[in-house]
């Protein structure tokens, strides 16, 4: 029986990671086909609820890929994204979802190979989590847990 590919959502900044993904394609670099790219003007547009909703919608992993520190076209969008990813990881942990399923990346527009490598490695990590089943890290903290409950209360997050 063929192994199920994990569903991975990649929120990519238009100016860097999305361009790098495009470049990877132009360079004919292989990266997993299960990466579903959502293009954003900046990772600063990623809200915690978007990240959590991806898991409610049965994503196995979520990547947030923005410009390198100091290179954001909107100055601090990627800094905000780092904080939101950290906050969302806390919420995932509380819901009993392994926070390693969510990761922030910084990928310059000119680095197609880095995008392909990051996508490959992240998919490999998610595959390992999938094959290890519900490990301790995936166990819920409380009885009211699971992806369906993680956005029950609107997260109070950093700006």
Comparison of 27 and 75: residue with beta carbon closer to ligand FES: 75
- Least separation in angstroms between residue 11's CB and ligand FES is 10
Comparison of 110 and 134: residue with beta carbon closer to ligand FES: 110
Residue with tokens 């989590």: 129
- Least separation in angstroms between residue 65's CB and ligand FES is 8
Structure tokens at 13: 């900044």
- Is 44 among the residues that bind ligand FES (CB under 6 A)? yes
- Least separation in angstroms between residue 39's CB and ligand FES is 11
- Is 22 among the residues that bind ligand FES (CB under 6 A)? no
Check: CB of residue 50 under 8 Å from CB of residue 11: yes
Q: What are phi and psi of 70, to 5 degrees?
A: 85, -5
Query: Greatest CA span in the chain, whole angstroms?
Result: 48
Q: Which of 62, 64, 63, 60 shows the shortest CA–CA distance to 130?
A: 60
What does the binding site for ligand FES look like in residue numbers (CB under 6 A)?
13, 15-16, 42-44, 66-67, 72-74, 77-78
């Amino acid at each position: 029986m063929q192994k199920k590919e994990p569903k991975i959502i990649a929120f990519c900044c238009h100016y860097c990671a999305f361009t790098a993904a495009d470049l990877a394609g132009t360079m004919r670099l292989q990266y997993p086909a299960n990466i579903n790219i959502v293009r954003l003007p900046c990772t600063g547009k990623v809200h915690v609820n978007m990240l959590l909703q991806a898991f409610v919608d049965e994503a196995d992993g979520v990547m947030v890929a923005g410009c390198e520190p100091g290179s954001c076209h909107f100055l601090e969008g990627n800094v905000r994204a780092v904080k939101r990813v950290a906050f969302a990881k806390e919420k995932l942990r509380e819901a009993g979802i392994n926070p390693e399923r969510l990761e922030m990346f910084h990928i310059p527009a000119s680095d197609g190979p880095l995008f392909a490598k990051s996508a490959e490695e992240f998919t490999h990590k998610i595959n390992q989590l999938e094959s290890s089943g519900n490990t301790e890290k995936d166990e819920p903290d409380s009885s009211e847990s699971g992806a369906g409950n993680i956005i029950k209360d609107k997260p109070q997050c950093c700006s």
